[in-house]
Chains A and B, each alone.
Chain A
Amino acid sequence: MYPSPFTYHRPASVEAAVALLAEFGDDAAPYAGGTELLLAMKMGFAQYDHLIDLKRLPTLRTIANEGEFLSIGALATHAEIAADPTVRDLLPPLAALCGEVANPRVRSSGTIGGNLCFAEPRADPPALLAGLDATLILRSTSGERAVPAASFITGALETVRAADELLVRIDILLSERRVRYERIVFGHRTVAGAVAALGAPGQPERIWVGGVATCPAPLPLTQSLLDAEPGAADARLHDAVTQDIAALDIADDEEASADYRRHLAATVALRAIAGCREELQR
């Protein structure tokens, strides 16, 4: 399989990259790790006349502790995030996830930004980042805007990103919450993932699931239950999670039927909550 011909651009700065995006719009694709993009192009699912190589823009891959935020450049690869001392220290579940998604080759090329912008329904980081109240910073020639991770992805392979926007970084609010991400992987794909971010006084409790519906989804009843009663009994939690998940639009596919997927989603959500609670008790 071969990608069809395109013009290759290697902008020297983020400004130049954004300018190219403004110039070519839909005909151009930012090229980050290429792990999804090249595959889609090889398979003929996508075709672009212009590829804008972001790999050589070091400012896009910085990871920094900004005090209130952990800021991760969109071009940081899974491997870089997994190995980064700051992430490992401040947000171990993100480092751990990035250290186990896909395989070592995809981790060494694939970027967090590419993962988010591709918006593959089975991806793990979108749910985790939504549960962490992360903010995505998008940039175009007209400036920057901030989009909550919770509303960035709108459907399978669909985001609110405009064709002329570049995702430049992800700002993750640092808090006292305990965070747990649990996932179930069969073969090459995640079949259900869930994050629980719990237990910081004054901050809302967050439970999100991913990998089951077309985009990540919060579990509102469960969140309110935990907000109201942090120590809610297991049976009530189970009911709330089940109800929340029953409300999600989950379809049968050749990998798993919908009821099984719902069960798995509930399982990982409950496991994530249990994990957090255990940590809180320590």
Chain B
Amino acid sequence: MPPDVPTTGNERLDKVTGRAVFASDITVPGMAHGRILRSPLPHAKIVKMDCTAALALEGVVAILSGEDLADLAQPYWGLYFNDRPVIAHEKVRYVGEPVALVVAETPAVAQAALDRIDIDYTPLPFIDNAGDAIAPDAPRLHGNLEAIADFYFKGQARPVSGTNIYQLYAISTGDTAAAEAEAARVFEHTYTFPGIAHYAMEPHCVTAAFEGDRLTVWSGAQSPTAVQKVLSRVFGLAYANVQVIVPHIGGGFGGKASVKIDPLVAAASWKAGRPVRVALTQEEAMLTCRRLGASITLTTAVDANGIILSKRAAILLDGGAYADTGPAVTVKAANRVIGPYAIKNLEIESRAAYTNTVPGSAFRSIGGPQAVWATESQMDEIAAALEIDPVDFRHRNLLPRGGKVLDSLRPLDADISEMMGHAGQAITSMGDRPAAGVAVAATDPGVLPLGGALVRLLADGSVLVMANSADIGQGVRDVLRNVAAKTLNQDPAAIRVAGPDTATTPFDWGTGASRSTVIIGLAVEDAAQDAREQLLALAASALEIPLDGVQLVPGGVATGSETIPFDRLFHTAFGIDSGEIVGRAMVTPSRKGSDFATSPLFWETAVGACDIALDEDTGALAVTRFAGVADIGHAINPAGAEGQEEGAAIQGLGHALYEHLAFIDGQPVNATPIGYRIPAAGDVPHAARTVLIENADGPGPMGAKGMGEGGLLPVAPAIANALARRYGIRLRDLPMTPEKIWRALRERDSDVP
């Protein structure tokens, strides 16, 4: 690296100079490399595995396989059920499941050894979609599993015994049957949503080192403490002996949340007696986790004035081979299918089922895109049928600020109607025509208010903020730096935010669900406040002046007449010019001054509006203008906040138009970077605008709300609504590929009587 480029501890600078150390850049002395042999079959018994030839290859160190599991303290793990073996054990449940892990001196040798593993399977009947999974005679993936409660998320899953359904969640209010009976019209539509790859640019990479009963793991993990917890169970180690260090993460989006390949790599190190690094390829990352596919049937009753009387929803999610955090996705899909509307009568049933496909897991706004796709598409379908303008139809049914989506949830803390106005204005500011399609969303982030921070003011005036919030590109460290700087009245340049390390930084639940700004922001604010109070008290006593006579200024304390730098203060107080002040804080559900009793802590709201252009010959669609509006309370890091919204919207564009992790006969058919298309620069809207609403009414520092997920939600339905409005076609199945659009246009133009 060029020594002459100034080092500032500034992550963004490190990233543009190539110095930032990502999970896949970690090397450890003595490290060996692992490559994974994966199942070619969706469901099968492993009848024979012979690794002799592979072990004989020069440079092969060890091979981990299901036979090794007997020696682990807890060979199966999970977040809601211990349904997943550290490595396939006797049976495989999806194409891509790890069955053997070769550890070798180089990755090339490890890869070459994979071909030499002799393995025989007996195929079992399989299911590759949720519809088949819930059929009465469907083959089952797992036996009846015991649900674990309050392990990662609060609560526990409610599986349907004797079936593949691992989660059933229902909401029922009022009387939908009565409402439908008195309704002017009842509409029923089914919308489908595919599995989607996270496609973080950095595929999962973990390096693990066992030394006796101490395990150190470097992982691109969004939830280091969850990794620590699961590893401690799997290997029977004390939490204190499991250290999880998180370098820079090359994108997460939920795909690196909870726990992914960490137990597998740690087991390889345990088997090999060496530090082991496993870097997945992008193809392998696509076989590791994905967003849950969904089929959602909505039955909505409206009166003659276009007021929604009731809504029924039947949600079926494709959970893949292991539950991971799917049970939480199931709950959120149900809550999020309601929308920010005043609907008295609700009947929602949300189910997720195991299938022999890539495990489903959290992905930016869990359950949200599926639910909003259905709800916001149907809003326009109903409006069109009633011949009401879709924006007007929404206005008639929107909850006002303070209205309740569900009685059990916190009242809505945003004005969606005002946000729609901003979106409409933003669209017309970029071109003549009004928006062709609009969609809105209100989601309840599953924010667990549990996380701590240390703020250490060092003798030279530099400040170390220690918090377990992983920087997945959302700029959390900039946020935390700004919060600490403000509270301590110090120059942000003096503040370094350390990366997560479970051995040195306090517990935090993890990075996800738009929570870091709020929870860890508050923890840092509280810890900085604690440091501030300690400092002022120290100054008052050391300088023998009253407490209200000192105040913090950049670099030291001021007594009115004089500014005393921190080192002099410490010198006076401690006898030498060393020492430090340690501010600490732990945000818990009972934090003073916060109302954390009701969920969600804040609503994540979003409005999207767009205009589109269509090549009717080919079905190719381009979004010409897009406007996104989010109510984020306060933008602590405005550039970061805008970037998050823009990035989310483009992920939404991918969901809308291109992305679909497809399976045919249980085989993934496009799980490669060539086959799977994510948006590129040429695909983005020609003109785009992001509007951030800031009323400082959030629970976070300076009134911030969490953000970073909402921008994804309205995109697909807004585009579908634009297609319907401008071109007279209604697509209910994502993604809206050119071929599907072309077929719909043909159907529109055919003279079917």
> Contact string, A249-282, partner B, CB cutoff 8 A, digits 1/0?
0000010110010011001000000000000000
Specify which chain B residues have a CB less than 8 angstroms from the CB of A105 in the assembled complex.
Answer: none
A1–B674 CB distance below 8 A: no
Q: Does chain B have a CB within 8 A of A4?
A: yes
Stretch at the interface among A110-118, A167-175, A183-191, A221-229: A183-191
Residues A2 and B111 in contact, CB atoms below 8 Å apart: yes
Which of B617, B658, B743 has its CB near the most chain A CB atoms (within 10 A)?
A: B617
CA distance A256 to B617 in the complex (A): 15
Binary per-residue interface labels of chain B (95-133) against chain A in the complex, 1 for a CB within 8 Å, 0 otherwise = 000000000000110011000000000000000000000
Q: Are A267 and B669 in contact (CB under 8 A)?
A: no
B28 to chain A, nearest CB (A): 21
Contact between A254 and B739 (Cβ–Cβ < 8 Å)? no
- B151 close to A (CB within 8 Å): no
- With A and B bound together, what is the CA distance between A246 and B705 in angstroms? 58
Show 24 residue pairs from A and B whose CB-CB distance is below 8 angstroms, ordered by the A residue. Answer: A1-B111, A1-B281, A2-B108, A4-B112, A184-B618, A184-B620, A186-B620, A186-B677, A186-B737, A186-B738, A187-B658, A188-B674, A188-B677, A254-B662, A254-B669, A254-B670, A254-B675, A256-B739, A257-B739, A260-B739, A260-B742, A263-B742, A264-B618, A267-B617
B110 to chain A, nearest CB (A): 10
**Are A254 and B664 CB-contacts (below 8 A) given A2-B107, A260-B742?**
yes
Further contacts, 18 of them, CB under 8 A, given A2-B107, A187-B658, A254-B675: A1-B281, A2-B108, A2-B111, A4-B112, A184-B618, A186-B620, A186-B677, A188-B674, A188-B677, A189-B674, A254-B662, A254-B664, A254-B669, A260-B739, A260-B742, A263-B742, A264-B618, A267-B618
Closest A residue to B742 by beta carbon equals A260
Which residues of B (727-749) have their CB < 8 Å from a CB of A?
A: 737-739, 742-743
Q: What distance in Å separates the Cβ of A37 from its nearest Cβ neighbour in chain B?
A: 16
CB proximity to B under 8 Å, residues A51-75: none
In the assembled complex, which residues on chain B have CB atoms less than 8 Å from the CB atom of A1? 111, 281
Contacts of B669 in A (CB 8 A): 254
Q: Write out the residue numbers on chain A whose beta carbons fall within 8 Å of the beta carbon of B281.
A: 1
For residue B677, which residues in chain A have a CB less than 8 angstroms away from its CB? 186-188
User: Count of chain A residues with Cβ under 8 Å from any Cβ of B?
Assistant: 15
Q: Whole-angstrom distance between the alpha carbons of A254 and B676 in the complex? A: 11
- The chain A residue sitting closest to B676, CB to CB, is A187
Cα–Cα, bound, A81→B670 (Å): 32
Nearest CB in chain B to that of A103: its residue: B680
Contacts of B739 in A (CB 8 A): 256-257, 260
Chain B residue contacts of A264, Cβ below 8 A: 618
B737: which A residues are within 8 A, CB to CB? Answer: 186
Chain B, residues 657-668, CB within 8 Å of chain A (1/0): the string is: 010001010000
CB-CB nearest in chain B for A267: B617
Cβ contacts under 8 Å, B617 to chain A: 267
B595-633 vs A, CB cutoff 8 Å, 1 = contact: the mask equals 000000000000000000000011010000000000000
Within the complex, the shortest CB–CB distance from A47 to chain B, in Å, comes to 11
Give the distance to chain B from A97, nearest Cβ to Cβ, in Å.
Answer: 17
Residue of A nearest to B675 (CB): A254
- A184 and B281 CA atoms in complex are apart in Å by 29
Q: Whose C-beta in chain A lies nearest to the C-beta of B619? A: A260
Question: How far, in Å, is B385 (CB) from chain A's closest CB?
Answer: 30
**Minimum C-beta distance from B675 to chain A (A):** 7
- Cβ–Cβ < 8 Å partners of B662 in chain A: 254
Give the CA-CA distance A264 to B620 in the complex, in Å: 11
Chain B: minimal CB distance from A78 (Å): 18
Q: Which residue of A lies closest to B664 (CB)?
A: A254
The smallest C-beta distance from A225 to any residue of chain B, in angstroms, reads 21
Report A268 CB to chain B, min CB distance, Å.
Answer: 9
Residues on B with beta carbons closer than 8 Å to the beta carbon of A189: 674
Instruction: Please provide the chain A residues from 1 to 50 with a CB less than 8 Å away from any CB of chain B in the complex.
Output: 1-2, 4
Residues of A within 8 A of B743 (CB): 260
Residues of B within 8 A of A256 (CB): 739
Complex Cα distance A36/B458, Å?
56
B674-692 Cβ-contact flags toward A at 8 Å (1 or 0) = 1101000000000000000
Residue of B nearest to A257 (CB): B739
Complex: A4 Cα to B114 Cα, angstroms: 13
Chain A residue at minimum C-beta to C-beta distance from B107 = A2
| Whole-angstrom distance between the Cβ of B57 and the nearest chain A Cβ | 13
CA distance A209 to B742 in the complex (A): 21
CA separation between A1 and B107, bound complex, in Å? 8
Complex Cα distance, B676 from A187, in Å, reads 8
